[in-house]
Amino acid sequence: MIQLNYENNLYILNKMSLYTISKSIIQKGLYSLKKITNLFCLLIIITLNQSCKQSDPLPIVKEEPQDGLLFSGLKWEVKSGGDSKLGPGPNYFSDSTSNVFVDNQGYLHLKITLDNGKWNCAEVISREKFGYGTYVFTIQSNVANIDRNAVVGLFTWDNTSFFTQANSEVDIEFSKWGSATDTLTLTYSVQPVWFSNPVPYWERSKRPTMSVSKLKFPSTHAFTWTDSLITWKSYEGVNYPGNSLLSNWSFDKTKPPRIKIEGNNQSQPVVIPGPGQDTHARINLWLLNGLGPSNNNEVELIVKEFKFIPL
């Protein structure tokens, strides 16, 4: 599936020959000449209507297609900041099909690309809201050898629940966190871990010792989120639950409550954050501290599938 914006649609319609399209349709026996004429009149009307569509008055840099990105049977919004940097990183995030697309197998591709001297990152946000349950991500990429400046995030987030639930964030991440020799590329965590607080809350994060070489093959990673316990599990292969467990971890309510500090804002003390009213699943690929890839090469993440299993 290729995601196009309105300008691209107009470009395609203007560049395509009506004669060529008509000839193709007639050869396939789909429409009579009269119906073809009516069809293209309708397309021209639709095109003109799209060119007059007004932008949202909020500071949205680029309008996305109304139908969203379809992946794993769900619609996803694509994060875009245009020429402004956004978190995490901060980084430039692009909704270009050079950075985000779904291939003909239904796999999601996120890419970090260089465009006019600017590294663009990628993030998708589920349109559907989620809560307690199991979040399963199947990765088709070699995340064991990820560039040391790149970060893959598979997580939940809620823009409305900072004060009460520390943004309702549960994470699975892959990164070497800037160290080329780091082999513990997998991280499980429940926020808050470390934002503006002076010392990280180490008990809220786990980097499991495991056979990292297995991550070179397709791997499946999941967390089950309840109000009293969060458990993470990673498997070799594409099945959940799989036959070959790579690592696991759990976090319960016996841990101390922690405060999320972000700038001058502080949350209430949180042990296990709960879902808010606007909690979504997110997948992103970004650069640590906004630095470019260490080898100056593009970085790609391929996600085979996402699924949510309610409690």
**294 to 105, 107, 122, 286: CA distances (angstroms):** 30, 26, 18, 13
- CA dihedral of residues 8, 9, 12, 18 (deg, nearest 10): -170
Confirm if 276 and 126 have CB atoms less than 8 A apart.
Answer: no
Beta bridge partner(s), residue 157: 280
Confirm if 108 and 283 have CB atoms less than 8 A apart.
Answer: yes
Beta bridge partner(s), residue 261: 266
Integer Cα distance of 233 and 247 in angstroms: 6
Kindly give the residue spans of alpha helices, DSSP state H, lying in the chain. Answer: 6-15, 18-27, 33-51, 162-165
Can you state the angle between helices 18-27 and 33-51, rounded to 10 degrees?
140
Can you state the angle between helices 33-51 and 6-15, rounded to 10 degrees?
140
Integer Cα distance of 248 and 205 in angstroms: 12
Domains and their CATH numbers in the chain = 6-51 (no CATH), 69-310 (2.60.120.200)
Tens-digit pLDDT profile for the chain (311 aa)?
333 332 333 323 333 333 333 333 334 344 344 444 443 333 333 333 333 332 233 333 333 445 789 999 999 999 999 999 999 999 999 999 999 999 999 999 999 999 999 999 999 999 999 999 999 999 999 999 999 999 999 999 999 999 999 999 999 999 999 999 998 999 999 999 987 777 889 999 999 998 888 888 899 999 999 999 999 999 999 999 999 999 999 999 999 999 999 989 999 999 999 999 999 999 999 999 999 999 999 999 999 999 999 99
At 134, which helix (H) or strand (E)? strand 133-139
Query: What letter would DSSP give residue 36?
Result: H
pTM score of the predicted model: 0.79
Integer Cα distance of 87 and 299 in angstroms: 18
Integer Cα distance of 229 and 242 in angstroms: 21
Integer Cα distance of 166 and 75 in angstroms: 25
**310 to 113, 122, 190: CA distances (angstroms):** 35, 27, 19
Residue keyed to tokens 């979504």 = 280
Q: Which amino acid is at 240?
A: Y
